[in-house]
Amino acid sequence: MDSKIKSTNGILILENETPEDVAKAMIKSGQQKEPFYVFDMDEAYRRIQYFKKTLPRIQIFYAMKANDNERMIKLAATLGMGFDCASPGEINKILNLNVSPLSIIFAVTSKSPYWMTYAQKSGVRHTTFDSSCELKKIKQYWSDARLLIRIKIDGESIYKLGEKFGCEFETEAIDLLEEAAALDLKVVGVAFHVGSGCFSIESHMIGLQRARALFDHEAKAGREMSIVDIGGGFLSDRTDSIDQVSKLINSTLEELFPDPNVQIIAEPGRYLCDSASSMYCSVNNVRKVTKGDETINMVYLNDGIFGSLKYNEPWHTVKLFERRAEIKNDTLEKTILWGPSCHSHDRIMQNVDIFLPQCTPFDWLVFPRRGAYALAFASYFSCLEKPLIRSVISQQLWKKIKDSEDFKSEEFVRTDISSPLPSTLPSLTNKTTNIRPNYTLII
């Protein structure tokens, strides 16, 4: 990279530009070669505020697994959120922000002894369980934990979680509560998750009804519970969805849990972070193939399913963002998008018919709304690097958060908006000594 070009990973303060303008400027500069994300901190902020406004009774414990980008978790911490952590690594990341361990729920129902002692030593108190086996392990390794029984609620979701997690409400929950009591373990609440990307608005209501029944059972037995965890699952693509679901949740809470001393928490992931990030990547190569009487453009990109484009949800789209060649024809053509690795499965949005204008090398595509479960899944397969993130923020929001503990030492920049992100290409190695006598290729 041209050393005169200032590349920075600080947070870029916007004046009148949009996050898209920033991406365009970076690409037009010709200096940004590798795939990248633009993280719009204002959009994440708006999502958090909207969630708080529509669900005022509920405290957010951000499910950081959806997007553990440092700026996202710092923003959540600055705005007073708690965190749903699902591994010691996540706990560690949050505690390093000086967040109290009591602001963490270790929301995993199957934990190794090591995970339990790690959480306990870190000062985390709350976790979930859904089996007798887990209760016995908790008794042995984390007997002072505060437990939430996770019940299965399977909504109409893109990712149903019920096969893997949650005990059966009808046949298992009461026995587990009795077993916990017999083991002298403290069950303080009920947790459920309706599945990630949930379309059925009544699922949370069913969860709350079942939670109420378990609260009543415990009260009858002289044991008091005080927390309901309604999990995540909120759709991120339409605001009417959270509007509808929140109405039902609010009225059900009023009816079933009117006591303000019962703490109601949620673990939204996707809803808070998805719309705040878009992904930009460029075309490495193009081939035309003929299948029957169909011609298909095979377009090879510099990010793929082993990078940050593994999953595609029904609302995902892709668009040609910036042409690098003079092509006037914008007719849409059938296109297959391939990632950069040598693996034959590295096909992006495999189950979707994609139609794009004819692409040529160095064109850029945009994958909008890729903030949740995208970069979080990226691997280093084949020594490919993960895309970097350009974080952008408005002057107004920057003023609000700049003196907070999380952001006061951050480098905020108002430089040329086109400046590229630091290169992730490995530095060159030119070894000339001690070269080994292995097979070599004929020159």
Taking CB under 6 A as the binding criterion, the range among 111-119, 264-272, 275-283, 390-398 that sits at the site for ligand PLP is 264-272
State the catalytic residues: 342
Question: At closest approach, how far in Å is the CB of 213 from ligand PLP?
Answer: 21
User: Is 269 a binder of ligand PLP (CB under 6 A)?
Assistant: yes
- The span of 261-269, 279-287, 326-334, 398-406 binding ligand PLP (CB under 6 A) equals 261-269
What is the chain's length?
443
As a whole number of angstroms, the distance between CA 81 and CA 268 comes to 11
Closest residue to bound ligand PLP by CB: 232
82 is an interface residue for ligand PLP by CB under 6 A: no
Q: 160 or 390, CB closer to ligand PLP?
A: 160
Name 254's Cβ contacts closer than 8 Å, sequence gap at least 6.
none
Q: Least distance from C-beta 301 to ligand PLP, angstroms?
A: 26
Query: Both tokens of residue 220?
Result: 């009858």
Q: Which residue has the tokens 């505690």?
A: 95
Q: Which is nearer to ligand PLP, 271 or 280 (CB)?
A: 271
Shortest CB 36 distance to ligand PLP, Å:
23
Does position 126 bind ligand PLP by CB under 6 A? no
Helix (H) or strand (E) run with residue 32 in it = none
Choose which of 196, 246, 277, 419 interacts with ligand PLP (CB under 6 A): 196
Contacting residue, 84, 346, 363, 406, with ligand PLP by CB under 6 A? 84
Q: Which residues contact 369 (CB under 8 A, 6 or more apart)?
A: 236, 237, 274, 275, 277, 278, 315, 316, 317
The region of 266-274, 322-330, 414-422, 432-440 touching ligand PLP under the rule CB under 6 A is 266-274
Tell me if residue 106 falls in helix, strand or coil.
strand
Q: Are β-strands 263-266 and 354-357 bridged in parallel, bridged antiparallel, or unpaired?
A: unpaired
C-alpha separations of 202 from 155, 156, 160, 192 in Å: 8, 10, 15, 13
- Using alpha carbons, select from 194, 233, 235, 234 the residue that is nearest to residue 211: 194
* Range in contact with ligand PLP (rule: CB under 6 A) among 11-19, 20-28, 265-273, 324-332: 265-273
- 8 A C-beta contact, residue 341 and residue 384: yes
In sequence order, the 6+-apart residues with CB closer than 8 A to the CB of 260 are: none
User: Contacts with ligand PLP: how many residues (CB under 6 A)?
Assistant: 16
Give SS3 for 322: strand
In this structure, what token pair is assigned to residue 411? 């480098």
Site for ligand PLP in 202-241 (CB under 6 A): 231-234
Binding residues (CB under 6 A) for ligand PLP: these are 63, 66, 84, 107, 161, 193, 196, 231-234, 267-271
